[in-house]
Structure 1
Amino acid sequence: MSNADRVLDNALNARSGVASNDEALQHRALGGGDTAVRTLKPRMDLLEYHDKNTVTAIFELPGLKKEDVQIDLHDNRMTVSGESSTSNGRDEGEYAVRERSFGKFSRTLQLPQGVKEDQIKAHLDNGVLCVQFP
């Protein structure tokens, strides 16, 4: 697979929340079997504020609370992860249409060089996580 194909594949899969071929291969190499990786990728917007020299990443995390979400920093990368579950008491009937996704989610961003942990600010309000960094 060429680099251009890989970039396009990853971008399309990031929109749909399906793992890329590379991620599926890594999953199998780690003993995960032949099943597709089912880690969801939350939708995200990135806003650049040139006048403030900051970037804000906005993640859609509907129904989640602060304690359901983790933000990890490692090797100049920020990973937002967690798990969403179905709401209790709503499974009495059979679904005619089910578009909402539940399960583990993860999204990793490469941070600009030199960003320190104390420079990153985050807050979660009404299922929208905003993370700001220089």
Structure 2
Amino acid sequence: MFARRLFDFPSVGWRHPFADFDRLSRQMDQLTRRAMGRPGLAWQPARVFPAINLTEDKDNFYVRAELPGFKADALEISVTGKNLTITGERKTSAEGEKIRYHRKERDAGKFSRVIGLPADVDADNVAAKMVNGILTITIPKAEKAKPRQITIN
């Protein structure tokens, strides 16, 4: 690629059929790099809070969410249909009016995270516990969603 651009390789006068697409791609890359590097631009990468893991065994789904610094009574958890909703508010201490941030990664405010569950659940028997900033929610599967052992006659 370098030799082709530097010396017009393989021959003078020959033009790559996709040269315009290559040029357009390079220009789009430059535009994106400039836009992402410019301070004060409205575009921000999406942040998902809280980070979760969703796992299952034959009887239950398990949702583990990272919620450092939260108290259990500051969260609301609900199950509707095949959706689990975790809602709360993250508060940070006031740091003063006349300060200048060099880096601000700790956002404060309300959040609501809806997690789609892969099967029907027994919403009446959901259990949750918080240990060391990790919220663990155990969601039993509905009887019709559990695997059944079939006996062969």
Q: Same fold (TM over 0.5)?
A: yes
Identify which of 20, 42, 46 aligns with 2:54. 46
The structure having more radius of gyration, on CA atoms, is 2
Deviation string for 1:59-88 (max 9, x for gaps)?
Answer: 111211112110022233210011111124
Q: Which runs of 5+ in 2 are unaligned?
A: 1-44, 141-153
SS at match of 1:42: coil
Aligned equivalent of 2:149: none
Q: Which runs of 5+ in 1 are unaligned?
A: 1-14, 18-39
Identify which of 125, 129, 143 aligns with 1:119. 125
d(CA) in 1 for partners of 2:137, 2:96: 34
Give every structure 1 segment of 4 or more consecutive aligned residues whose post-TM-superposition deviation is greater than 3 Å.
Answer: 90-93
d(CA) in 1 for partners of 2:86, 2:56: 19
For 1:43-82, list aligned pairs within 5 A: 43-50=51-58, 53-82=59-88
SS at match of 2:138: strand
CA, structure 1 residues 74+48, in 2 after alignment: closer, same or farther (shift >3 Å)?
Answer: closer
Q: Which has the higher strand share?
A: 1
Identical counterparts, % of pairs: 33
Aligned equivalent of 1:16: 46
SS at match of 1:100: coil
For CA contacts below 8 A with separation 6 or more, give which structure has more relative contact order.
1
Aligned equivalent of 1:22: none
User: 1:125 offset after TM fit, Å?
Assistant: 2.0
Aligned 8 A contact 2:80 2:123 in 1: no
Q: Give the alignment's Cα RMSD to 1 decimal.
A: 2.2
SS at match of 1:16: coil
For 1:68-107, list aligned pairs within 5 A: 68-88=74-94, 90-91=95-96, 93-107=99-113
Using the size of structure 1 for normalisation, the TM-score is 0.60
Deviation string for 1:2-46 (max 9, x for gaps)?
Answer: xxxxxxxxxxxxx932xxxxxxxxxxxxxxxxxxxxxx5311111
d(CA) in 2 for partners of 1:72, 1:48: 18
SS at match of 1:95: coil
